[in-house]
């Protein structure tokens, strides 16, 4: 990596960002799913800054009981304080902690990067909530007293949470599930929070069309009739999902692994799904448009769901970088298009965008 590191520094030359570090992560057999997500999170600057601030507020790290949050903060601190600009770091302690916390990631099977991100963000939020719960209410800043959404609802179907952490402030949005009774026209709305959006995909489609489908109206009839409280009976109804409050960091998960009944197994969908560098949320919003900028893509390489490899493409200071475990290379912005997918089912290119990380352009939005 020494040669690679010096090559990256030579390519960037005077344009190497002041104070930035580009470090690959060592792979411990099957941990590419972890490495690719960690790189995406590291280049999620608001998240990184909050994590490093959290670490800086720990008076004596040696006295703090080790958990996933302290391990991640320590790893990010280790990268950001390296004397060299490029190189390789071994996230040994963090990976060991992940395996200790969740048996799903203990074996040497191919793991799912989306499952890992979901587990990680929820676990970090849980740790922070427990710490906030110990702080007297009068010592909390106003945003920390706000509940998660109008009802203090659960994150991804979890328990009721009375506090909002900086993990929620970065990644959490609110969905509204609207159901309209076709007999009495009464609309029932239920809010729920999300940390990422999972979208169904189609061949030769785009993120915009996938979001439209996500918010399209569905008719509930026959066996799927809706129980209307006003009519006190089962009625035909129309249902749709809208984004009520978009998050500051929008993570989109493309559902590339689909269970095929006739095969009795999962199959990878290599569909071509175009994703823009700048995304406008229009059709899913109740309020004004919300603009986002792409800063990371976690890519699944391989033809099937049970094997393959994960890499990540990240944007840093107007440069795009390719992270493949220990290896880091600078790439042209146009190279991001290679992760759109394949227009034909059996194409030679098996690099497919799996998770997209967008940051709100309007940083003053939704504080």
- Residue 209 reports pLDDT greater than 60: yes
Residue 205 has pLDDT above 70, yes or no: yes
- DSSP characters over 21-34: -EEEE---SSTHHH
Which of 262-271, 325-334, 340-349 shows the lowest mean pLDDT across its residues?
340-349
- Annotated active-site residue 114? The verdict is no
Whether the predicted pLDDT of 148 surpasses 60: no
Q: How far apart are CA 197 and CA 211, in angstroms?
A: 9
Residues 115-124 pLDDT 10s: 999 999 999 9
Token reading at 167: 């993990």
Per-residue pLDDT band for 288 (boundaries 50, 70, 90) equals low
* List 32, 44, 210, 228, catalytic entry: 32
For the ranges 244-248, 292-296, 313-317, which has the lowest average pLDDT? 244-248
Indicate which residue of 114, 168, 253, 309 is catalytic: 309
Domains of the chain: 25-133+166-360 (3.90.70.10)
Distance, CA of 335 to CA of 252 (rounded, Å): 20
Structure confidence at residue 217 as a pLDDT band (50, 70, 90): very high
Predicted confidence (pLDDT) at residue 188 exceeds the cutoff of 50: yes
Enter the pTM of the model: 0.89
pLDDT (tens digit, 9 = 90+) per residue, 54-113?
Answer: 999 876 766 778 999 999 999 999 999 999 999 999 999 999 999 999 998 988 778 999
Output Rg (C-alpha) for the chain, integer angstroms. 22
309 classed as catalytic: yes
DSSP string, 125-162: HHHHHHHHHTS-GGGS-HHHHS-STTTTPPBTT-----
The reported pLDDT for the residue numbered 289 is 73
* pLDDT at res. 366: 43
Q: What is the DSSP string of 268-298?
A: E--B-EE--SEEEE-TTBSSS-EEEEEEEEE
């Amino acid at each position: 990596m020494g040669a690679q590191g010096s090559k990256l520094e030579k390519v960037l030359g005077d344009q190497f960002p002041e104070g930035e570090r580009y470090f690959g992560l060592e792979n411990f057999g099957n941990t590419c799913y972890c490495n690719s997500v960690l790189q995406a999170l590291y280049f999620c600057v608001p998240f990184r800054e909050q994590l490093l601030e959290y670490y800086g507020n720990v008076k004596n790290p040696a006295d703090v009981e080790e958990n996933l949050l302290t391990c991640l903060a320590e790893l990010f601190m280790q990268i950001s304080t390296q004397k060299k600009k490029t190189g390789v770091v071994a996230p040994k302690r963090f990976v060991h902690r992940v395996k200790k916390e969740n048996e799903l990631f203990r074996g040497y099977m191919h793991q799912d990067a989306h499952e890992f991100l979901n587990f990680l963000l929820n676990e970090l939020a849980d740790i922070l909530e427990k710490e906030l719960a110990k702080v007297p209410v009068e010592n909390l800043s106003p945003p920390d007293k706000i509940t998660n959404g109008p009802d203090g609802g659960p994150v991804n179907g979890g328990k009721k949470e009375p506090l909002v952490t900086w993990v929620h402030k970065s990644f959490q949005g609110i969905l509204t599930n609207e159901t309209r009774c076709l007999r009495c026209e009464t609309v029932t709305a239920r809010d729920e929070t999300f940390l990422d959006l999972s979208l169904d995909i189609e061949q030769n489609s785009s993120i915009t069309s996938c979001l439209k489908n996500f918010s399209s109206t569905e008719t509930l009839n026959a066996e799927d009739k809706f129980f209307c409280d006003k009519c006190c009976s089962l009625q035909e109804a129309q249902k749709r999902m809208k984004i009520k409050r978009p998050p500051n960091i929008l993570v989109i998960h493309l559902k590339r692994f689909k269970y095929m009944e006739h095969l009795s197994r999962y199959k990878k969908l290599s569909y071509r799904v175009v994703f823009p560098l700048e995304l406008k949320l229009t059709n899913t919003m109740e309020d004004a448009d919300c603009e986002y900028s792409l800063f990371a893509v976690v890519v699944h390489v391989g033809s099937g769901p049970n094997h393959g490899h994960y890499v990540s493409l990240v944007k840093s200071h107007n440069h795009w970088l390719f992270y493949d475990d220990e290896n880091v290379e600078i790439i042209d912005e146009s190279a991001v298009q290679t992760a759109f997918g394949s227009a034909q089912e059996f194409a030679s290119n098996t690099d497919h965008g799996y998770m997209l990380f967008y940051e709100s352009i309007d940083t003053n939005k939704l504080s």
